[in-house]
Amino acid sequence: MSLDYEQIKKAAEGYRSDLSRFLRAMISHPSESTEEKEVVACIKAEMEKVGFDKVEIDGLGNIIGWMGRHGDIGDDKKIIAIDSHIDTVGIGNRDNWTNDPYEGYETDDIIYGRGASDQEGGMASALYGTKIMKDLDLIPEGYKIMVVGSVMEEDCDGLCWQYIVNKDKIRPEFVISTEPTDGGVYRGQRGRMEIRVDVKGVSCHGSAPERGDNAIYKMADIINDVRALNNNDCTDSTVIRGLSKMLDPKYNPENYEDARFLGRGTCTVSQIFYTSPSRCAVADSCAISIDRRMTAGETYETCLEEIRNLPAVKKYGDDVKVSMYMYARPAWTGEVYETEAYFPTWISKESAAHVKALTDAHKALFGDKRIAPKGQEALRDRPLTDKWTFSTNGVSIMGRYGIPCVGFGPGAESQAHAPNEITWKDDLVRAAALYAAAIPLYPTEEKTSDIEEYRGGKTNNNIL
pLDDT-derived band at 45 (thresholds 50, 70, 90) equals: very high
Per-residue confidence (pLDDT) for residue 379, from 0 to 100: 82
Distances in Å between the alpha carbon of 315 and those of 236, 274, 308? 22, 20, 10
Omega cis (within 30) before 119: yes
Report CA dihedral (53, 133, 79, 344) to the nearest 10 degrees: -120
Per-residue confidence (pLDDT) for residue 44, from 0 to 100: 98
pLDDT in tens, 28-41: 999 999 999 999 99
Which one is catalytic: 36, 118, 153, 427? 153
**Do 105 and 99 form a contact (C-beta atoms < 8 A)?**
yes
Backbone φ and ψ of 461, nearest 5°: -115, -65
What is the arithmetic mean of pLDDT over 205-212? 97
What is the arithmetic mean of pLDDT over 123-144? 97
- Write the DSSP string, 417-461: T-TT-EEEHHHHHHHHHHHHHHHHHS-TT---S-S-SEE----SS
Active site residue 450: no
- What is the DSSP secondary structure assignment for residue 398, as one 8-state letter? T
Q: At what angle do helices 120-135 and 425-441 cross, to 10 degrees?
A: 50
Beta strands in 299-449 (DSSP E): 320-324, 326-327, 339-340, 342-343, 346-347, 385-386, 405-407, 422-424
Chain centroid to CA 102: how far?
A: 22
- Rounded Cα distance between 402 and 254, Å, is 19
Q: At what angle do helices 425-441 and 353-366 cross, to 10 degrees?
A: 130
Which one is catalytic: 83, 87, 194, 213? 87
pLDDT at residue 464 above 60?
Answer: no
112-123 exposure pattern, b = at least 16 Cβ within 10 A, e = fewer: bbbbbbbbbbbb
Burial tier of 304 (Cβ tally within 10 Å: 0-12, 13-18, 19+): middle
Per-residue confidence (pLDDT) for residue 449, from 0 to 100: 45
Percent of the chain with pLDDT over 90: 92
pLDDT-derived band at 459 (thresholds 50, 70, 90) equals: very low
Sheet with 143-150, strands from edge to edge, namely: 54-57, 63-68, 143-150, 78-85, 174-177, 405-407, 185-186, 385-386
Per-residue confidence (pLDDT) for residue 446, from 0 to 100: 55
- Rounded Cα distance between 311 and 314, Å, is 5
Active site residue 153: yes
pLDDT in tens, 229-253: 999 999 989 999 999 999 999 999 9
The CB density around residue 314, as the number of other CB atoms within 10 Å, is 11
- Rounded Cα distance between 125 and 123, Å, is 5
- Rounded Cα distance between 177 and 435, Å, is 10
**Do 306 and 266 form a contact (C-beta atoms < 8 A)?**
no
Per-residue confidence (pLDDT) for residue 148, from 0 to 100: 98
pLDDT at residue 457 above 90?
Answer: no
Sheet with 346-347, strands from edge to edge, namely: 188-189, 346-347, 454-455
Backbone φ and ψ of 275, nearest 5°: -130, 145
pTM above 0.85, yes or no: yes
**Do 394 and 346 form a contact (C-beta atoms < 8 A)?**
yes
pLDDT at residue 451 above 80?
Answer: no
What is the arithmetic mean of pLDDT over 354-372? 96
Q: Strand, helix or coil at 225?
A: helix
Per-residue confidence (pLDDT) for residue 352, from 0 to 100: 96
**Do 100 and 405 form a contact (C-beta atoms < 8 A)?**
no
pLDDT-derived band at 334 (thresholds 50, 70, 90) equals: very high
Tell me the pairing of strands 285-294 and 191-200.
antiparallel
The helix (run of H) or strand (run of E) holding residue 262 is helix 256-262
Backbone φ and ψ of 16, nearest 5°: -55, -50
- Rounded Cα distance between 327 and 47, Å, is 31
Burial tier of 76 (Cβ tally within 10 Å: 0-12, 13-18, 19+): exposed
Closest CA to 114 of 92, 137, 135, 134: 92
In order of their start, the domains of the chain are 5-190+345-455 (3.40.630.10), 191-327 (3.30.70.360)
**Do 147 and 82 form a contact (C-beta atoms < 8 A)?**
yes
Residues paired with residue 244 on neighbouring β-strands, in sequence order: none
Backbone φ and ψ of 359, nearest 5°: -65, -40
- Rounded Cα distance between 257 and 259, Å, is 5
